[in-house]
Amino acid sequence: MRLTFLGTGTSFGIPQIGCSCAVCRSTDLRDRRNRSGAVVEAGGATLLIDTPPELRLAMLAAGIRAVDAVLYTHDHADHVHGIDDLRALSGKGRGQLPIYGPAGALRRMRQRFDYIFDPLARPIPGSSRPDVTTTALEPGVEAAIAGVVVLPLQFSHGPTTVLGYRFGPLAYLTDVREVPGPARAALRGLEVLVLNALFHRPHPTHLSVPEAVETARAIGARRTYLTHLTHETGHAALLAELPPGIEPAYDGLVVEV
């Protein structure tokens, strides 16, 4: 199993528009962060997690040419607004691309991107649109997606909810405010955990860095990678402060599980 980080930044991305802080001016390429997304390759299948705005650029940089399914965590702009790039991954001999996610998120996406999901909205001749099917996932119920067993888990994200995903020895959680006891139990025995970490101070919709460290220790994965990072945490400085077994991810990082 292989995990590729397409993006590891917060909703603003880094560098942030109009900012001249040290991290936004950094020459360390690990500080240049697209909006968060990832690819999991397992059993001959390639699963895309979210479609962030820089999806095309991130897929090209990672050398990923095709995917078998898309898993959405939720429908916030930084996680879905690259959806039009699915045109290059579906239709025209490639067939329909199945997408999965929370029922509410998929419902809102059908309204927001009606040109994709409305069967009566036909593309102009000579143009195209993503050719997709949608399936809502039930939290806590395993699903076979492109032959890969996936366990969706539901978490709070402020006033909304998100899905995190476990793929056997790997789990990918982003935009979660907390990981309560039952979810921690469902994540026991991981080799690799991906967990969001926003600021060092508390935030109403995301784990902070100290909270993410505490959560990672409680879950006990052999390796934990922090994602959805802001320009307040430069890669090198954050890496130096984190305990062994926990480190910041960066765009393009490939993890073999």
Q: In the CATH hierarchy, which top-level class contains the domain 2-256?
A: alpha beta
The predicted model scores a pTM of: 0.97
Find the distance separating the first CA and the last CA of the chain, reported in whole Å.
5
Rounded-to-integer distance, Cα 119 and Cα 102, Å: 21
Q: Which of 181, 145, 146, 186 is nearest to 164 (CA)?
A: 186
Give residue-wise pLDDT tens across range 82-134: 999 999 999 888 899 999 999 999 999 999 999 999 988 877 787 889 999 99
Q: Which of 168, 135, 163, 175 is nearest to 150 (CA)?
A: 168
Q: Residue 149 is encoded by which pair of tokens?
A: 């067993």
Give residue-wise pLDDT tens across range 140-184: 999 999 999 999 999 999 999 999 999 999 999 999 999 999 999
Amino acid at 110: R
CA 13-117-174 angle, to 5 degrees, is 30
pLDDT of residue 120: 82
CA 237-240-244 angle, to 5 degrees, is 145
Domain ranges of the chain: 2-256
Give residue-wise pLDDT tens across range 192-243: 999 999 999 999 999 999 999 999 999 999 999 999 999 999 999 999 999 9
Location of structure tokens 């405010």: 177
